[in-house]
Amino acid sequence: MDNVINNGNEPEALTSELSQADIAALGIGAHVQLKKKGKRHLGIIIAAIVFAVLIVALVASFFGARWYYKDKAAPGVSLGNVAVAGQDATQLKQTVDQRVQNSKIIITDGQGKKATANFKDLGVKVDTDKTVQNLLAAKGDGAGRIVPFQKADVKLAADVADLPIDTYLTNTFVKDGDKAVPSSIAFDGNTNTFVANAGHGGRSPEMNGVKKSVNTLIADPGQVKSVKISYKNIDTPITEETARTAADSANKILANKIVIGNGDAGKFEVPVVQLASWIKPNADLEKGSIKLDIDKAAIAGYMNSEMPKRLDQDMVSQQDIVDGSGNVLVTMTKGVNGVKVKDGNSVADQVYNAMTSSQPATIQAAADITKFDVKQTKSEMRIVVDRSTQTATVYKDDQQVQSFPVCTGKPGHETSLGNYVINVRYTVQTMRGADYVTPNVQWVSYFNGGQGFHGAPWNPTGIGTGDPAGHGSHGCVNMNISDAKWIFDNCPQGTLVQVVGAQPGGPVR
């Protein structure tokens, strides 16, 4: 019974009864199983790596696409039926301009008259920049922006009004004597007011078909549409009373002043002519009405352009002349704060609100303000011209050093009261006035325009007696030659001159 295997109670016997060959066979099988399991693991790893690479590639391509289309029209965006994906702002503008240029309407009346009109002919105002912005913004900023199967059809940003279309059709297809003309309003530059222009009844083209074609071209520009019009006899499309009411409303807007300030000393009032240019009468021929629109975009353009020109200020240092103790004797140049206005759009919003509500407005523009600095110059030399005593007294560091007899300007040409500085000097000069020419005037020191110190050998009586009433000058301070030379030699440019005292009626010495 040695070859009988006990399956239940003697497991050791199984191992002991196996031959070496059997054991070897069992080892090879296990090895084979291990190799198979390793291959399966390797396949899973490789699959995982491939999957990860694909994910990375997809993520990279997603963010790469978002970067590429950041400043371009997104995939799936079209202008009407024209795909514009990948075009930047410059290219989009060219596309929009070309499609607008190619948009035409062939109009016939069935009576032999025919015309081809474009947007400009029909008064359609296309905002190219706004259209480009809309194309770039289509599909938003989210992840779906670059998904190509999501579509976004963008139409032209355009304004359409009845009156220009009616005017074009009437002028093109109706004889002058047969035209129905709506009453209207217009700005009169002579009176700076809006006035009503009376219309009258007559023959009028039916424009609904043309308007429908215009709207079709706005949604899908670049096409050529054909329209057949008919005629109708009508009363005045817009009554004169309606026009007068609209003119009165426009004039109420003009009556309110709009003042723009810079937060400092600068301000300006918007001219009435400019205000009038922002009021746009919008006639609705079907309703027989005139609505007044305010052109907000034009206001913003004006403010951003004009505010810096009118309100910006360069900083100007204040120039003070002081005595030895630092006390200000005279301010020669008044300081001016530096101002740089900003945010014209905010000002435009406030102007728009004021005009739409027919209210006056004083608006302070936001501005960066640089406070002026103060520069002080110590006055070592100072000359006091006293008209009441007819003397010129010189001080150095507030100590009197000289005093000279003078003769100032005669009645009607008095030497002007005030504080000045010597600014121009000549050793000799020919002086000219309305009624005199005096050559070879010596030691001239001007301090106030044409008024200055100079030698006056022709006027010894006036200088000696101090009599400007009888022997006065045309405003200068007449001096003896030696005294004028002393002033010239000792009182340089920048010397303070103070003219004080009442004008005497006769000699003072």
Q: Which of 228, 219, 71, 248 is nearest to 157 (CA)?
A: 219
Q: Any idea what DSSP says for residue 394?
A: E
Average pLDDT over residues 25-45: 57
Give backbone dihedrals phi and psi of 436, rounded to 5 degrees, phi first: -160, 155
Alpha carbon dihedral 406, 411, 413, 419, in 10-degree steps, equals 60
pLDDT at 45: 74
Share of the chain above pLDDT 70, in %: 88
Cα dihedral sign for 35, 41, 45, 47? positive
**pLDDT tens digits, 173-193:** 999 889 988 999 999 999 999
Q: Please tell me which residue, 433 or 148, carries the higher pLDDT value.
A: 433
Assigned token pair, 435 = 């009624």
Confidence of residue 286 (pLDDT cuts 50, 70, 90): confident
The closest of 264, 269, 266, 291 to 280, measured between CA atoms, is: 291
Question: For the residues 77-92, what does the mean pLDDT come to?
Answer: 94
Question: Please, what sign has the CA dihedral across residues 230, 235, 240, 241?
Answer: negative
Query: What pLDDT is recorded for position 125?
Result: 94
Eight-class DSSP state of 141 = S
Tell me the one-letter amino acid at 113. Answer: K
What would the mean pLDDT of 324-343 be, rounded to a whole number? 89
Q: Kindly write down the DSSP assignment for every residue of 168-183, as one continuous string.
A: HHHHHHS-GGGB-B--
**How high is the mean pLDDT of the chain?**
89
Mean pLDDT value across residues 142-150: 72
- Which is nearest to 198 in space by CA: 252, 251, 237, 248? 237
By CB atoms closer than 10 A (0-12, 13-18, 19+), residue 284 is: middle
Tell me the torsion sign for CA atoms 23, 24, 29, 34. Answer: positive
**Roughly what angle, to the nearest 10 degrees, separates helices 89-102 and 128-137?**
120
pLDDT tens string 194-245: 999 999 999 999 999 999 999 999 999 999 999 999 999 999 999 999 999 9
Would you say the pTM of this structure is higher than 0.75? no
- With a cut of 60, say whether residue 102 has pLDDT above it: yes
365-392: average pLDDT:
94
Tokens of 476: 């200068």
Residue 156 corresponds to which amino acid? L
Neighbours of 283 (CB within 10 A): 25
Q: How many CA atoms lie within 13 A of 232 on its CB side?
A: 9
Contact 74, 146 (CB under 8 A): yes
At 9 the pLDDT is: 44
**Sheet holding 399-405: strands in order across?**
399-405, 391-396, 381-386, 496-500, 418-421
Q: How far apart are CA 166 and CA 174, in angstroms?
A: 11
Q: Name every residue whose Cβ is closer than 8 Å to that of residue 459 and which is 6 or more positions away in sequence.
A: 407, 471, 473, 478
Mean pLDDT of 318-345: 89
Has residue 15 got a pLDDT over 80?
A: no
Cα-based torsion angle of the residue sequence 43, 48, 51, 52 in order, rounded to the nearest 10 degrees: -140
Band of residue 57 on the pLDDT scale cut at 50, 70, 90: low
pLDDT value of residue 144: 61
Query: Which residue's structure tokens are 């004028």?
Result: 484
Q: Which two tokens stand for residue 146?
A: 């670059």
Cα atoms in the 13 Å half-sphere on the side-chain side of 214: 25
Mean pLDDT of 311-317: 97
Confidence of residue 422 (pLDDT cuts 50, 70, 90): very high
Integer CA distances (angstroms), 501 to 37, 392, 478, in order: 120, 12, 17
